[in-house]
Homo-oligomer: A and B are copies of this chain.
Amino acid sequence: MQPGVHLTRLTPLAFLERSAAAFPERTAVVDGERRLSWAQLRERVRRLAVALQESGIEKGDRVALLAPNVTELLEAHYGVPAAGAVLVAINTRLSADEVHYIVEHSGSRLVVVDPTLAHLVEGAPAERVLVTGAGGDYERFLERASEGEPEDRLESEDDTISINYTSGTTGRPKGVMYTYRGAYLNALAEVVHARLDSRSVYLWTLPMFHCNGWCFTWGVTAVGATHVCLPKMEPAEVWRLIEAEAVTHLNGAPTVLVILTSDPAAHRLERPVLITTAAAPPPAAVLERTAALGFEIHHVYGLTETYGPITICEWNPDWDGLGPEERARVLARQGLNMVTADPVRVVDSDMNDVPADAQTMGEVVMRGNNVMKGYYRDEHATAEAFRGGWFHSGDLGVMHPDGYIELRDRAKDIIISGGENISTIEVEGALVRHPDVLEAAVVAIPDEKWGERPKGFVTLRPGATLSEAELIAFSRETLAGFKAPSEIDFCELPKTSTGKIKKFELRQRARTGQAPAARA
Contact = CB atoms under 8 A, between A and B. Distances in A.
B5 A317 contact: no
A18 B368 CA distance: 14
A296 to B, nearest CB: 12
Nearest to A335: B22
Contacts of A26: 316-318
Interface of A: 1, 5-8, 10, 14-15, 17-18, 21-26, 156-158, 179, 181-182, 185, 188, 191-192, 195, 197-199, 222-224, 314-318, 336-337, 339-340, 342-343, 367-369, 371-374, 386, 389-391, 402-403
Contact of A22 (B192, B195, B336, B389): B336
B342 A22 contact: no
A161 to B, nearest CB: 13
A179 B339 CA distance: 19
Contacts of A342: 8, 14
26 contacts: A1-B156, A1-B158, A5-B371, A5-B386, A5-B390, A6-B179, A6-B182, A6-B369, A6-B371, A6-B372, A6-B374, A7-B181, A7-B368, A8-B369, A10-B369, A15-B339, A18-B336, A18-B339, A22-B314, A23-B316, A24-B402, A26-B316, A188-B339, A191-B192, A192-B197, A192-B223
Given A1-B158, A318-B26, A336 B21 contact: yes
B17 A367 contact: no
Given A156-B1, A369-B8, A371-B5, A188 B198 contact: no
A391 B8 CA distance: 13
Contacts of A389: 5
A427 to B, nearest CB: 29
Contact of A403 (B21, B224, B315, B343): B21
Contacts of A188: 188, 192, 339-340
B8 A343 contact: no
Contact of A367 (B5, B156, B157, B195): B5
Given A1-B1, A198-B317, A368 B223 contact: no
Contact of A6 (B6, B223, B343, B367): B367
Given A5-B367, A5-B371, 20 more contacts: A6-B371, A6-B372, A7-B368, A8-B342, A8-B369, A10-B369, A15-B339, A18-B336, A18-B337, A18-B343, A188-B188, A188-B192, A188-B339, A188-B340, A192-B192, A192-B197, A198-B315, A198-B316, A198-B317, A199-B317
A341 B403 CA distance: 34
B6 A198 contact: no
Contacts of A368: 6-8
Contact of A314 (B17, B198, B318): B198
Contacts of A315: 198
B198 A195 contact: no
Which of A14, A22, A199, A316 has the largest number of chain B CB atoms within 10 A?
Answer: A22
Given A156-B1, A336-B18, A369 B7 contact: yes
A476 B475 CA distance: 83
Nearest to A366: B5
A318 B372 CA distance: 39
A282 B81 CA distance: 40
Nearest to A382: B5
Nearest to A184: B340
A226 to B, nearest CB: 10
Contacts of A340: 188
Nearest to A199: B317
Contacts of A24: 402
A386 B192 CA distance: 32
A340 to B, nearest CB: 8
A147 B460 CA distance: 56
Given A198-B314, A403-B21, A8 B367 contact: yes
Which of A8, A342, A374, A391 has the largest number of chain B CB atoms within 10 A?
Answer: A8
Nearest to A185: B10
A316 B22 contact: yes
Nearest to A320: B199
Contacts of A337: 18
Contacts of A223: 192, 339
A340 B372 CA distance: 22
